[in-house]
Structure 1
């Protein structure tokens, strides 16, 4: 798994990098087949003081790419919100993949009916 953390108008400090990596452990615990993760942390130079910190993540999974973004006035709050959203989407994708692998109902019904004599 490749992890890329970059900053736009922001220097990614080791503390921020460690915080993001520790939060991503929760996602890896739910779904371990992650191919690639790209995190982009941004500070927008807006005139209003609200929601200037932005966190985005692109996660490549087998067969799907999950994109999530979060805005907040605090970078750590934006990262927390981002990981919550990403966790919900990864759990949803995992359940879809698991449900898809089950046999179809029509095949189960064919196996239950006895062969004509």
Structure 2
């Protein structure tokens, strides 16, 4: 899985890159069709904001978190992304199950037509 990491008013060092790749390897193993993650770390008004976006099975999924410290913000955004991906995976699995066929109840009009009302 490719991770595109960028920072806005934040220096993205090698340790940050290593931490991000370590956090998201578990997500990559759970969702093998996930191709890439776009992660933006920004700092505004003394808080770190982490925004993660990806495309998974035809839909765009995003997660966002903020915290005064960068690493808890990364962790929180990762948990939200994992939950969103699990939700989407569940929706896709539910579509594969056979739906029960609806049996239409007899319509009263048809029953009246069958009756001999003379």
Question: Aligning the two structures, in what range does the TM-score lie when normalised by the shorter sequence?
Answer: 0.7 to 0.9
Asked which structure has the greater RCO (Cα within 8 Å, sep 6+), the reply is 1
Q: Which structure 2 segments of 5+ residues have no match? A: 104-118
Asked whether 1:78 is paired with 2:59, we answer: no
CA contact (8 A) 1:57 1:67 kept: yes
Structure 1: stretches of 5+ with no match in the other structure:
110-117
The CA RMSD measured in Å over matched residues stands at: 1.6
Structure showing greater radius of gyration is 2
> Which contiguous aligned blocks of 4+ residues in structure 1 show a shift greater than 6 angstroms?
none
**TM-score normalised to structure 2 length:** 0.80
Residue in 2 that maps onto 1:4? 4
Q: In 2, Cα distance between the equivalents of 1:82 and 1:18?
A: 16
Query: Following TM superposition, by how much is the alpha carbon of 1:102 offset from its aligned partner in structure 2, in angstroms?
Result: 1.5
TM superposition shift of 1:11 = 1.2
| Aligned residue in 2 for 1:42 | 42
